[in-house]
Amino acid sequence: MKKEAILHIPMSEYAHGLDEKRIVLRLRAARGDLERVTLWYGDTACRRTPIDWFPEPMERILSDEYHDWWELTLECPYHRIFYHFELSDGRETCFYYGGVFTDELVDDRSEYFKLPFNHRADIARAPDWVHGAVVYNIFPDSFATSRRHISLEPTEREFGGLRTRGKLGGTIKGVTENLDYLAELGVNCIYLNPIFAAGEYHKYDLIDYYHIDPCLGTNEDFRELVDRAHDMDMRVIIDGVFNHCGWRFFAFEDVVQRGEASRYKDWFYRLSFPVTRPEDPEEIPGYECFGYERLMPKLDTANPEVREYFCAVGEHWLREYDIDGWRLDVADELPDEFLDRFHEAVRKEKKDAFIYGEVWEDATDKISYGHRRRYLEGGELDSVMNYPFANAVIDFVRTANAEELRECVENIVEHYPRASLDTLMNHIGTHDTVRAITRLGRGDIERPENGRDRGILTEEQYQKGVCLLKLASVLQFTLPGVPCVYYGDEAGLAGGEDPFNRACFPWGNENAELLDHYRTLGRIRKLCPAFIDGEFNCISSALGCIAYERNSESCSALIIANANCHGIEYTVPERWRGA
């Protein structure tokens, strides 16, 4: 028995409450090593010694190149349990508990693995409505000015004596007047990049968190958008940029004007007094910023005053405008104390509000602020943006490496708590990445020495990108998680780095074939509940082809994705023949 490969971590994704009656327990072992795994569990408050143990067989649910994962969803009458594992490889049988392997059980209960209590607060529970969502991510300045139209006209407006700017003419009204277009795609949730008053067109340098940027419209325009969306059974999520603000935000302005006498000096990091705003964009300022961007001073979100300020912002837009959730920008720079408090405030205001964060890595083993983050262990985030998924899908479609895609997906399935897995935001492009069609049609290139990559494609590269995007989007809509479509992908938009990945929506010049493909995917996802919360089972991954099932109580689906440049003959499993 290869004991060095065996792993179980209590109070983690290896042992967590699915709800108040069910507990998910997992164990990792070397690939092909164990023939049988049995979980033995008992009530921690059992009045007898030794305690009463109850056995439940575990099932091998996933395998990668090196490991098997065994899992059990335990339904039991106890909210607190001791437990251990009985392992057998056909030659040797032993018990595993407390990090040791032994042939004997002991009476001392403290030696066993323990779930102290299946706390309601520790259960990651995304709102029910998210599980069946198809999300559409809109960059507001770039989408629409009015029905099926964008003006392409730069705008400037005054807000509180300051200037705000737009670039392409997109507005909140433009979103509202095109909700029917989104409904035809099967979209039932809109995620808007920042919409609050800010200096630049992207709106990540915020001036005010309580008003819509005048280049985009008014607060009443936004109220109408939410009301109309709700009338059409669509949800609305907005971007919470709380890690940093703009350098004209009232608190930073006060620091610039008052220096060390400012009551807001502790809202920011590493201020060098007197605080000045450098005009040269290449100059590193005397204050901490987001990514050295001088326009965006970093906020100290561990400061209780800052925390309460943004919790009030979160509550305000839920209470006054009935939004359905928040996407938290740069969530991995927000400390646990902030996320805990924000989650509490938001859920108190609206019980089914959704909170997800921007985390570029595997969020289950992310280390920051000197410790392992607990984003998805209940009470912080419901979900995250699934960047590992996006990269794996793009790589598979380009290289036909089915084994790597399988390994990535199975790692995601095994690492994430079940409730979060089904609500991961599965995108294949965002406002921060090169457009999917460009990545697929041309491949990744190094940034040009004389500026940013515009992502210009030949006609042949463009057609290749469109063809490959069809395959990538099938994976996006059928693998575990929620598809999140970046505006314009379905219409054939290409583009390189920022700002070329934020081009105007091509109203009147959409790629009709691609658009019809996305509409079909939206219909299929709605018709088959297995894509919403069905179990994932990979059947095979070899020679540029991956085949997998999604199985739920009411239906099953078989997906075969061939990334080769040629057709293949695939023999489907017997149970699917004649389906």
Inter-CA distances, 34 with 9, 127, 364, Å:
18, 37, 26
- The C-alpha atoms of residue 365 and residue 328 are separated, in whole angstroms, by 19
Q: What CA–CA distance (Å, rounded) separates 577 from 579?
A: 5
SS3 content of the chain, % helix, strand, coil (to 5): 30, 25, 45
Q: Which of 358, 382, 410, 490 is catalytic?
A: 358
- Residue 196 is classified by DSSP as B
For the purposes of burial, counting CB atoms within 10 Å of the CB of 105, is it exposed (0-12), middle (13-18) or buried (19 or more)? middle
Cα(41)–Cα(74) distance, rounded to whole angstroms?
10
Of the candidates 35, 36, 11, the residue with the CA atom closest to the CA atom of residue 25: 11
Judge whether 329 counts as a catalytic residue: yes
Q: Give the position of tokens 């099967």.
A: 186
- Specify the amino acid at residue 193: N
Return phi, psi of residue 434, to 5°: -60, 140
For tokens 């400037």, name the residue.
156
As a whole number of angstroms, the distance between CA 396 and CA 387 comes to 14
SS3 524: helix
Whether 266 is a known active-site residue: answer: no
**SS3 state at 428:** coil
Positive or negative: CA dihedral 478, 481, 482, 486: negative
Catalytic residue, from 43, 208, 213, 329: name it: 329
- Following DSSP, what letter does each residue of 105-122 receive, concatenated? --S-GGGSEEE----GGG
Cα–Cα distance between 144 and 174 in angstroms, integer?
Answer: 5
**In the 3-class helix/strand/coil scheme, how is 280-321 assigned residue by residue?**
CCCCCCCCCEECCEEEEEEECCCCHHHHHHHHHHHHHHHHHH
Tokens of 268: 């920011």
Please give the positions annotated as active site: 329, 358
